[in-house]
């Protein structure tokens, strides 16, 4: 009886089945880290104006109007 070999593609030991199993987990962790980074960087005006204020429903939460007495102009 001959032994039949089957080709199992892998890159550095990672097969498509292993990658397919871990992608959703890494996606959830990456999304959580991204949101955590956004809220950690919230006090920086550039992050607040460029990213957070452009969120459709919640953007007005980060709108911080300057009091006319504090305005340099």
Distances (CA, A) of 65 to 3, 20, 42, 69: 75, 47, 16, 12
- Say whether 11 sits in a helix, a strand or coil: strand
> How would residue 69 be classed by pLDDT, with cut points 50, 70 and 90?
confident
Which pLDDT score, from 0 to 100, does residue 28 have? 97
Above 80 in pLDDT, residue 73? no
pLDDT digit string, tens, across residues 17-28: 999 999 999 999
Which pLDDT score, from 0 to 100, does residue 24 have? 96
Residues 6 or more apart in contact with residue 63 via CB below 8 angstroms = 53
* pTM summary value: 0.63
pLDDT digit string, tens, across residues 48-64: 889 889 989 988 888 88
Residues 6 or more apart in contact with residue 13 via CB below 8 angstroms = none
């Amino acid at each position: 009886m001959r032994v039949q070999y089957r080709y199992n593609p892998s890159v550095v030991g990672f097969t498509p089945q292993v990658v397919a199993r871990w992608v959703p987990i890494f996606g959830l962790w990456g999304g959580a880290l991204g949101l955590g980074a956004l809220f950690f960087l919230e006090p920086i005006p550039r992050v607040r104006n460029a990213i957070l204020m452009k969120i459709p429903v919640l953007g007005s939460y980060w709108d911080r109007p300057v009091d006319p007495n504090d305005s340099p102009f």
